[in-house]
Structures are given as C-alpha cells and as structure tokens.
C-alpha cells in the first residue's frame, strides 16, 4: 500500500472522479484539476499555461487534454504540450489509496531560470511574441541578469540569418544600451521588443554557417588588417570572414580588431549610407554588454554586409551636379598632412558647436574646409565626431513637416550614421576612421533640402508648469497624431526648468516603448540618449532632445499591438484572469 503523505489533499473516491470526469481542488497555492482517464487519475494545474483558461472546462480524449480557448493540447499524464505557443502544464503527483484519490500540491520546484531560458529559445525559434514576453518576465522574476536574455537573442540572431548582422541585431543592442535610462518597469518591455525583432527578422531564413579560423601561426595584427581590407575591397566574403575569425582566435587584441574592421568600413565612401560603420559600432557595443568571449560569434556576422555594401562614390547624387565624391577623396588624401600640422596634443580646441553649424553650410567645399581647419586647430577625432552628430540632430530638429513623411527616414539615417561614427571614434580614434567624418558631413549636406525652410526651434519660455506636469502633458499629447511641434515645445519647456534630465530620458523611453517601435525609433532613441548624456548642460543637448521628440511624435501613435501582448504576459504573471 502507498503511504499517504500528510500534505496530500483528498480529492474523493476514484469512482466519484470517474463519474464527474474532473474535480477541482485547491492546495499549496494552486488550483488543481484532477481528471479521470482509463482507470487512472491525473492532476494538472487548472490554469492553462497559454492564457490561463480553466482546464477543467477542457476535454480529454485518447489521453490528450484540450483547452477550450485556443485549443492547445497537452499529454494529460506528463503535462507536455503539443503546441509550443502554450507551454507545458504543470502536473502534480496523484495516487489512489483504498479507492481514494490523493494529490500532492507541492511538487518539486522547477528551475525557473532554466525553464524560461528554454522557453525564450522556443519563442525565438517559432517567432511567438507572447512566449518571448513571458520568458523575459519569467527570467526577470527568476533573478536573471539582463545579459541572459540578451545573450540568447545575440546567439540566435547571429546564427539564424544567412545575411549576418541585421537591423534587428542593432535594435537588440539598442535595447541593452537604453536599459539604464528606463524606468524599472519599462526595462523588460524594451528587452522583449528587441528580442521580438530578432525573432521576426530570422523567421524563415536560412542559418549562417560560420567559417573556421585558419590553421596558422600568423599573429601580427597588421597582416590580418591588410588581408581583411583586401578581401573586403574585392568583395571576397569568405576570405574576409576566415581572416577575421582567425584574428579573433589567435588573440589579436580587441582594439586591433576594432581598428581593422573600422578601417575596412571606411576604405570606401559612406558604405551603405553609413550602415556599415553604424552596424560595426553596434556589434562592438553588444560585446561591451556580453563580453569579448562572444567576439567569434558576433563579429564575423558583420562581414556579409561589409563585403556587399554599396559604395557611395557609385551613386549619382555623390557625383552630380557637384562631384562630392571627388572632394571627399581629395580631403581623405590630405588628412595625413593635416594631422601632422594639427595641434591636437594641446587639447585647446573647443569649437564643436561652431563646427556643427558650419557643417550645415550650403557649400560642400566650405564644409570640408571647416573640418580641415578644425583638425589643424587641434580638434580631436572624438570632437569632430561630436560636431557631425550635433549637425545631424540639427537637421532633425529643423526638419520641415511639409516634406514627405518618408523623408523623416532620410534625416534619421544620416543622424544614426553620425552617431555610429562618433561612438566608433571614441572607441578607435584612428586616422583611417576619421575619414568617415567627411562622409557623414557630406550626407548632412545632401539632406539640406529637408530643412528648406528650416522649422524654427521652440523659443525658450519661462514656464509655470512643474516638470512633472510637463512630462505628463508630453506623454498625453503623443496619444494624438501630428504633435510634432507641440512635443518639441514641451521638451524645450522641460529643459528650461529644473527637472532632472534622467526623468526626461525615461519619459522619452516610455513614449517609444509603448508604440510598435521600429528600427529607426530604437536607433534614434539610443543615439539621442548617448548624445544627450554627454552634453547635458549645453544648448546642443536641447537640439538633441528636440530632434528626438519631433521624430517620435511624428511616428506616434501606432496600434500598440506589441505592448498589448506584453501587457497580457504581465497580467498572466500576476495571476490575473484574462478570459473573463
Ligand atoms: S489555449 Fe488555453 S488559454 Fe489559450
């Protein structure tokens, strides 16, 4: 005879369970459905793991329990599901003693961290957003660090896309970057959106098959760099990837690898409209979060995009009516002698804001001259990057809404390219990467028609609202379309007051995350946070936040479908009943 453990719950006689088909009992904080099937009793959590529908209202046939809401099916005896969207249902030990059915409501605890990691992989593989949302929340509740879901997303996104690094991988990196600036409750929402984009991007795609490193004793960074640049030059993807994989494997330093990649990324003019530098920068930012151990997995995924990138000197707008590409090549050739004449070691140049305004000039020749004069006067690579980023945000701040809606993306693209270059210059301030400053400055020049006429910046007003009221107003106003100027004014008002800049950033984060935010929204939020954080007290910081607020307001509201799914996951985690 089996021993009845004290904690077990008496369900009733087996005959009674058979007669009723299912009996519901409670214990151990659970509501448990006990089913009769083929002479045995089986106990499962009465809450369907999909969206909480009571399973006692389901039906059992041939040992399969079917939930009657979305028809998820479970093996009644083991609890495993046949439908990945649902998850396995928890089972409880059930015994029959002297014709009485007893249930143990305290089964061994589940390893929540492991369970939700597995479920996150399921959600990514099958592109199921509710599963991804639940897994992100489950991992957070299990005490997992944000790098746990981030790493799963990074491994997935760099494995299951033959095209390598994608916009979705950049979104995922942006979510990790912005986390510290978000309110605590918005952080899992951000990770969920980033992971969801990766799952969507990879859905139905062929995987990427990595190339093994060379069996070589070569370890010199300059040799790998020469090989790599050469392979990218002739668009030999496989050669470039094998070279990069080998350099990482033999232990070439992180700095030398970065220099090698960013040099190849600027050997031609403005590759893929700045995306090559921007994506490379994002890949290094991802490694900042996950550690250099992931370099062999992450960095080779950049090669496909680098080798196939469109070179802007091939584009008509860079050749005619003004041959901008020739001007850029000439400037690039003159860079070494400018750097020789530069007073950069003195650190006495502080004209970033003036240079930013000069980059908005109508003459490409004058723009290049201003950059050259700044270099000779001692501007550092980082300062030059900051100036082009500021100029790009000014284009956004002055973007006129009489342009076509799609033109927001044109100024946005230059802006994120400028920010990517600026961040890369902070990481690797090499003369080769400095060539990118001319490229981005010329892209800002090409976007000048989107500031014709320039939309004026909001006046700096003395306001009578508290900072909290302004942020509340800002959140409300972008529930309505076309609040571009109104939101810029609210941001300007906030910055004129004594509100904390952290609260403004977290509010901007919330504004974006409640929408179905796309690649551009994530990119601009991440870029704006970085640019704003480094200029908090300057007028240029106001330009950054005005540019950000105008872009987000122009793209709000959306149907907010992603947020609704996340909200369902949150309510399920809290034990709320969704089906009523
Ligand atoms: S299948 Fe059970 S709640 Fe959806």
Pocket test for ligand 1, best of 50, 73, 74, 79 (most atoms within 8 A of CB): 50
- Going by alpha carbons, the residue nearest to atom 3 of ligand 1 is 51
Residue whose token pair is 């009769």: 36
Question: Whose CA is closest to 397, among 408, 383, 405, 385?
Answer: 408
Measured in angstroms, how far is the CA atom of residue 143 from the centroid of ligand 1? Answer: 27
Q: Angle at the Cα of 563 (from 560 to 564), degrees rounded to 5?
A: 85
- The answer to whether residue 577 is domain-embedded is no
Confidence band for 1, pLDDT divided at 50, 70 and 90 = very low
Beta-carbon neighbour count of residue 369 at 10 Å? 14
> 498 falls in which pLDDT band (50, 70, 90)?
confident
List the one residue out of 516, 197, 554, 557 whose CA is nearest residue 406: 554
User: Is 191 within a domain?
Assistant: yes
Q: Is the CB of 67 under 6 A from ligand 1?
A: yes
Q: Does 407 reside within a domain?
A: yes
Q: Are residues 322 and 428 in the same domain?
A: yes
506 found inside a domain = yes
Q: Do residues 365 and 429 share a domain?
A: yes
Q: Worst-scoring range by mean pLDDT, 163-177, 199-213, 426-440, 456-470? A: 456-470
3 state SS for 191-226: HHHHHHHHHHHHCCCCCCCCCCCCCCCCCCHHHHHH
> Where are the alpha helices (H) located in 291-380, listed in sequence order?
295-298, 303-308, 324-341, 352-359, 364-376
Does 319 share its domain with 445?
A: yes
Three-state DSSP string of 82-127: CCCCCCCCCEECEEEECCEEEECCCCCCCCHHHHHHHHHHHHHHHC
Q: Taking the alpha carbons of 502, 169, 266, 271 in that order, is the dihedral positive or negative?
A: negative
* pLDDT above 90 for 529: yes
Is pLDDT above 80 for 463? no
* pLDDT tens digits, 467-476: 999 999 999 9
Q: Which helix (H) or strand (E) holds 311?
A: none
Of 308, 323, 355, the residue that ends a domain is 308
DSSP element (H, E) containing 43: strand 40-45
> What is the CA(69)–ligand 1 centre distance, in A?
5
User: In terms of Cα–Cα distance, which of 336, 334, 370 is closest to 352?
Assistant: 370
- Domain hosting 195: range is 112-202
Judgement on whether residues 195 and 119 belong to the same structural domain of the protein = yes
Query: Is the pTM of the predicted complex or chain greater than 0.85?
Result: yes
Distance CA 372, CA 339 (A): 9
Same domain, 284 and 321: no
Q: Do 325 and 416 reside in the same domain of the chain? A: yes
| CA distance linking residue 521 with residue 492, whole number of Å | 20
Inside any domain, residue 212:
no
CATH number at residue 26: 2.102.10.10
Residue 458 lies in a domain: no
Total domains, the chain: 5
Q: Indicate the DSSP class of residue 538.
A: S
Length, in residues, of the chain: 580
Whether residue 572 has its Cβ less than 6 Å from ligand 1? no
User: Residue 313 above 60 pLDDT?
Assistant: yes
53-59 mean pLDDT: 97
Domain assignment of residue 117, yes or no:
yes
**Ligand 1 probe mutation, 46, 49, 51, 66, most atoms within 8 A of CB:** 51
The predicted structure's pLDDT at residue 441: 98
Please count the other Cβ atoms lying within 10 Å of the Cβ belonging to residue 71: 11
CATH assignment at residue 127: 1.20.272
Q: Answer whether 477's CB lies under 8 Å from 483's CB.
A: yes
From the CA atom positions of the chain, what is the Rg in Å? Answer: 29
- Candidate of 47, 83, 86 to mutate for ligand 1, largest count of ligand atoms within 8 Å of Cβ: 86
């Amino acid at each position: 005879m089996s021993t009845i453990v004290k904690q077990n719950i008496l369900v009733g006689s087996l005959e009674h369970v058979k007669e009723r088909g299912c009996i519901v009992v409670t214990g151990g904080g659970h509501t448990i459905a006990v089913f009769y099937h083929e002479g045995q009793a089986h106990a499962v959590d009465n809450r369907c793991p999909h969206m909480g529908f009571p399973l006692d209202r389901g039906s059992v046939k041939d040992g399969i329990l079917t939930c009657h809401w979305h028809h998820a099916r479970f093996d009644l005896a083991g609890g495993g599901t046949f439908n990945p969207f649902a998850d396995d249902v928890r089972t409880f030990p059930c015994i029959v003693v002297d014709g009485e059915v007893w249930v143990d409501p305290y089964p061994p605890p589940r390893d929540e961290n492991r369970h939700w990691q597995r479920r996150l992989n399921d959600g990514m593989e099958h592109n199921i957003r509710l599963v991804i949302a639940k897994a992100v929340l489950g991992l957070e509740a299990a005490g997992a660090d944000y790098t746990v879901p981030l790493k799963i997303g990074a491994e997935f996104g760099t494995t299951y896309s033959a095209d390598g690094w994608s916009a979705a991988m950049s979104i995922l990196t942006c979510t990790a970057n912005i986390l510290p600036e978000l309110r605590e409750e918005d952080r899992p929402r951000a990770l969920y959106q980033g992971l969801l984009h990766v799952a969507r991007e990879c859905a139905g795609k062929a995987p990427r098959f990595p190339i093994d490193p060379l069996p070589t004793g070569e370890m010199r960074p300059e040799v790998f760099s020469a090989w790599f640049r050469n392979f990218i030059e002739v668009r030999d993807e496989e050669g470039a990837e094998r070279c990069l994989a080998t350099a990482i494997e033999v232990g070439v330093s992180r700095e030398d690898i970065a220099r090698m990649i960013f040099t190849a990324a600027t050997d031609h003019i403005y590759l893929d409209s700045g995306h090559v530098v921007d994506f490379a920068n994002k890949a290094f930012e991802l490694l900042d979060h996950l550690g250099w151990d992931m370099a062999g997995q992450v960095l080779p995924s950049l090669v496909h995009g680098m080798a196939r990138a469109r070179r802007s000197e091939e584009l008509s707008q860079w050749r005619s009516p003004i041959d901008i590409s020739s001007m850029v090549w000439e400037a690039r050739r003159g860079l070494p002698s400018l750097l020789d004449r530069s007073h950069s070691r003195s650190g006495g140049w502080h004209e970033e804001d003036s240079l930013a305004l000069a980059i908005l000039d109508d003459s490409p020749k004058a723009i290049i001259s201003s950059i050259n004069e700044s270099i000779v006067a001692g501007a550092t690579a980082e300062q030059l990057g900051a100036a082009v980023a500021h100029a790009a945000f000014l284009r956004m701040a002055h973007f006129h809404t009489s342009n076509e809606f799609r033109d927001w993306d044109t100024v946005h693209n230059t802006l994120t390219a400028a920010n990517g270059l600026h961040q890369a210059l902070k990481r690797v301030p090499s003369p080769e990467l400095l060539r990118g400053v001319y490229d981005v400055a010329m892209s800002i020049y090409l976007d000048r028609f989107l500031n014709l006429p320039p939309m004026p910046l909001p006046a700096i007003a003395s306001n009578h609202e508290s900072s909290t009221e302004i942020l509340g107003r800002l959140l409300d106003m972008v529930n309505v379309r076309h609040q571009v100027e109104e939101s810029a004014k609210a941001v300007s008002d906030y910055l004129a007051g004594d509100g904390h800049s952290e609260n403004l950033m977290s509010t901007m984060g919330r504004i974006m995350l409640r929408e179905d935010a796309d690649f551009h929204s994530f990119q601009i939020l991440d870029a704006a946070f970085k640019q704003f954080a480094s200029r908090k007290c300057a007028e240029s910081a106001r330009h950054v936040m005005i540019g950000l607020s105008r872009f987000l307001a122009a793209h709000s509201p959306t149907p907010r479908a992603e947020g609704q799914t996340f909200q369902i996951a949150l309510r399920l985690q809290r034990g709320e009943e969704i089906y009523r």
